[in-house]
Amino acid sequence: MWILVFIAINLLKKTRCFVVRVKNSVLPVGEGERIEVLDVMRGIALLGILLVNMKSFAGPDTPISYLSYAYWNESYNVAATILLDFFVQGNFITMFSFLFGFGIIIMKERAEAKERRILPIFARRQIVLFLFGVLHVVLFWHGDILINYAGIGMIALLFIRRKPKTLFLTGIIILTLYSALMTAGNALYWATGEPVKTQKQDDAKYEAEIEEMINVYSDGTFTEIMAVRISEWQELNAFFIITAIALLPMFLFGMYSAKKRNLYTPKNLWRILAATFILGAGSKLLPVLFYSEKGKSGVYETTWIWGYEFGGAMMSLFYLSLIVLLYKTVNGKKLLSAFAAPGRMAFTIYLMQSVICTTIFNSYGLGLYGSIGPMTGAFLAAVIFSVQLIFAKWWIKRYTMGPLEWVWRTLTYGKVLKLKRDVSEKSSI
């Protein structure tokens, strides 16, 4: 990933495009050019991502997931875990990846309309995104996705001129092979009997890690928390190439979808909906059926990986198709339009979630880290996002974009963009 950033910086230097001349710049998408259903998708994805991330904000979710037993073993928490795994886990980070890929093609089309090259401006955009991600990790949360998106976006750019069919087939092949290999690798590992042999030692190791993390996050200083946070991020992102392979297919599907605008006929959407539901829900159902086998034979762990990797991508496409179909109806549009405001300032809302949740759970805030389970966490996520919905609607009525979007785009386009609306100007929200 660092190599990608180095290449991008050198490309920018060679093209001398850190400072953009306003007269010839390719400006960001204006309000009249926005596709509102994409904003709705982003808004819904933000809710899904918060529901998933809440487990990591609230406690040491990674070592908890490695235990051979249910850490939160109350019936309601077990039910919440299963429901989150089926409906949310892995389904929304992939949705954001799809939308990111879709946005790459929109940027390309706008650049070509202005007879400009996309590489300089896109590279600047990714570098700024990368820097935001670094600040996010250092100051707030280890589960940042911005750094990964900065790198994967540059990889996806290599496919920007490929035909739609090539994008689709490449995405399917990578997704299927990757998911199959990850699942098979886990199955072979369990077949050796090693996980069962070392189960007690492993559980003891993870229990000690859980206790240590709870102590640091709920009682430690900001510096101590930051050190653990950076260490967690390094462990989580030790193999960037694996994350890139996992998410790149959804980038490619988004790019394919943006190039095939005629795909969105009701007939095609219903076909996609049916196929992705069968593949997605079918894959996600397997670990639910084998949940009682957790820590015993490996069947739960193996089916969970397939459900997360392949099933998550398919469920994401199912949700996207469902959103478009509902949005085409009068009542559906009224209902879903509420998500458009946060979707228009998704960057701000995403980072705001980290600020709010770390303040609630870390020692420099309320210090509640490790004290609430999945069920309470899900309710808290719903409350936080409801407040964000209200805030986003209020903000978009008064400003043209989110505050962090304004910083991101200003640095990307080299032009101080308009933020505050005129008194007579009205938002489309």
Task: Report which of 337, 351, 352 is spatially closest to residue 387, judged by C-alpha positions.
Answer: 352
Structure tokens belonging to residue 296: 């015993």
Structure tokens belonging to residue 132: 């935001």
* pLDDT given for residue 115 in this prediction: 82
Q: pLDDT (tens digit, 9 = 90+) per residue, 333-388?
A: 999 999 999 999 999 999 999 999 999 999 999 999 999 999 999 999 999 999 99
Residue with tokens 């998500």: 339
* pLDDT given for residue 10 in this prediction: 43
* pLDDT given for residue 423 in this prediction: 64
Spell out the SS3 assignment of the chain.
CHHHHHHHHHHHHHHCCCCCCHHHCCCCCCHHHCCHHHHHHHHHHHHHHHHHHHHHHHCCHHHHHHCCCCCCCCHHHHHHHHHHHHHCCCCCHHHHHHHHHHHHHHHHHHHHHCCCCHHHHHHHHHHHHHHHHHHHHHHCCCCCCHHHHHHHHHHHHHHCCCCHHHHHHHHHHHHHHHHHHHHHHHHHHHHCCHHHHCHHHHHHHHHHHHHHHHHHHHHCCHHHHHHHHHHHHHHHCCCHHHHHHHHHHHHHHHHHHHHCHHHCCHHHHHHHHHHHHHHHHHHHHHHHHCHHHCCCCCHHHHHHHHHHHHHHHHHHHHHHHHHHHHHCCHHHHHHHHHHHHHHHCHHHHHHHHHHHHHHHHCCCCCCCCCCCCHHHHHHHHHHHHHHHHHHHHHHHHHECCCHHHHHHHHHHHCCCCCCECCCCCCCCC
Average the pLDDT over 190-211 and give the result. 96
Q: CA–CA separation, 6 vs 17, rounded Å? A: 15
* pLDDT given for residue 72 in this prediction: 96
The answer, yes or no, to whether residue 8 has pLDDT greater than 50, is no
Task: Report which of 323, 318, 352, 353 is spatially closest to residue 340, judged by C-alpha positions.
Answer: 323
* pLDDT given for residue 18 in this prediction: 32
213 alpha carbon, distance to own chain's centre: 24
Q: pLDDT (tens digit, 9 = 90+) per residue, 9-66?
A: 343 343 333 333 333 444 455 554 568 999 999 999 999 999 999 999 999 999 999 9
The model's confidence at residue 262, banded by pLDDT at 50, 70 and 90, is confident
* pLDDT given for residue 27 in this prediction: 47
* pLDDT given for residue 428 in this prediction: 57
Q: pLDDT (tens digit, 9 = 90+) per residue, 136-160?
A: 999 999 999 999 999 999 999 999 9
Structure tokens belonging to residue 293: 């086998």
The answer, yes or no, to whether residue 203 has pLDDT greater than 60, is yes
The model's confidence at residue 116, banded by pLDDT at 50, 70 and 90, is confident
Q: pLDDT (tens digit, 9 = 90+) per residue, 221-249?
A: 999 999 999 999 999 998 899 999 999 99
Lowest mean pLDDT among 25-34, 39-48, 121-130, 200-209: 25-34
Percent of the chain with pLDDT over 70: 90
* pLDDT given for residue 117 in this prediction: 87
